[in-house]
Amino acid sequence: MRPSLASLAVAAALGCAPRATLTPSERGAVLRDARTEGQRWLSISSRPYHLADGTDAPALAPLAPPEWEVGGHPPPAGQLLEGIIPAGTQARIVRIEFSVGPFGEKTHHRDTYVVVELGKGTRGVLVVDGALGSEASFWDEVELWLTPLPPEAAQEGWNEAVRAAVKEKRTVTEMPVEALLAAWGYPRSRVVHFTPTGRRETWTWPGALRTAELQDGRLVESRAPDASGTVP
């Protein structure tokens, strides 16, 4: 059984995973596991964009470049597309393309492409750091994107305003931590302060263009380079 994501998700999101290419046996194990994966759902509302290398299916980004990074470097260049694929969309892994071929040769992309079938037959690509150090680290990063929890379980307790905000990749005050992550993805840093009124957190996303303040697990205010934050 793979280790739980709970204790490792933030470390993986912040680029703290070990930096080494998967061995041939580990790549084979990942492919075998992928064939037996059950139904999954997107855990982050995503922005689609065309990869510059000509890959047919659009890649999925938690935020528009240059706010998003993979493994400490910017995402592959490409054209951002219109629309949002909301958290809770069904997603099933159909193919994995590693940055290293079966005989150790370099492929045309530096990261690992996880091709998923979304909803009713459309496909998307999750761009995963190609230098993760183990099979477990690979799945930890994939599971930042894909959850085994159906929407009714993952979004339990969210009101209609929060559900609508997550689908549109924007924030509303008082939304819980899980909803903020589903709307904007994982931050680069989280600073925690304990005050007489409770637990205060400051979250910052790559480039310091997007920040959020939380009090006891609820959003107080957020700022973004677009209109998706609570503060203009």
d(CA 171, CA 148): 24
Q: Which residue has the higher pLDDT, 126 or 100?
A: 126
Residue 79: what pLDDT?
Answer: 83
Q: Pairing mode, if any, of strands 59-61 and 47-51? A: antiparallel
Helices (H), the chain: 9-13, 24-36, 135-145, 151-154, 160-167, 177-184
d(CA 179, CA 154): 9
- Tell me the range of 19-23, 32-36, 135-139, 212-216 where mean pLDDT is highest: 212-216
Residue 204: what pLDDT?
Answer: 96
Backbone φ and ψ of 60, nearest 5°:
-115, 130
Instruction: Look up residue 48 and give its DSSP letter.
Output: E
d(CA 72, CA 2): 24
d(CA 26, CA 10): 23
- Burial class for 106, CB neighbours closer than 10 Å (0-12, 13-18, 19+): exposed
d(CA 178, CA 147): 12
> Most distant CA pair in the chain: distance in Å?
59
* Residue limits of CATH 3.30.1450.10 in the chain: 158-223
Query: 3-state class of 215 per DSSP?
Result: strand
Is pLDDT above 50 for 11? no
**Record: fold of 158-223:** Beta-lactamase Inhibitory Protein; Chain:B, domain 1 (3.30.1450)
pLDDT tens digit string along 147-157? 999 999 999 99
Closest CA to 141 of 149, 133, 153: 133
pLDDT tens digit string along 161-176? 999 999 999 999 999 9
Bridge partners (DSSP) of residue 84 are none
Residue 104: what pLDDT?
Answer: 57
Is pLDDT above 70 for 3? no
d(CA 131, CA 114): 14
Residue 166: what pLDDT?
Answer: 98
Is pLDDT above 80 for 109? no
The structure tokens 């470097």 sit at 73
Closest CA to 38 of 121, 129, 150: 150
Is pLDDT above 60 for 2? no
Token readout for 57 is: 């299916």
Is pLDDT above 60 for 15? no
Stated pTM of the model: 0.84
pLDDT grade for 211, boundaries at 50, 70 and 90: very high
Token readout for 92 is: 């099933």
User: Which residue type, as a one-letter code, is found at position 125?
Assistant: V
pLDDT tens digit string along 23-67? 888 888 988 988 888 889 999 999 999 888 878 899 999 988 778
pLDDT grade for 232, boundaries at 50, 70 and 90: confident
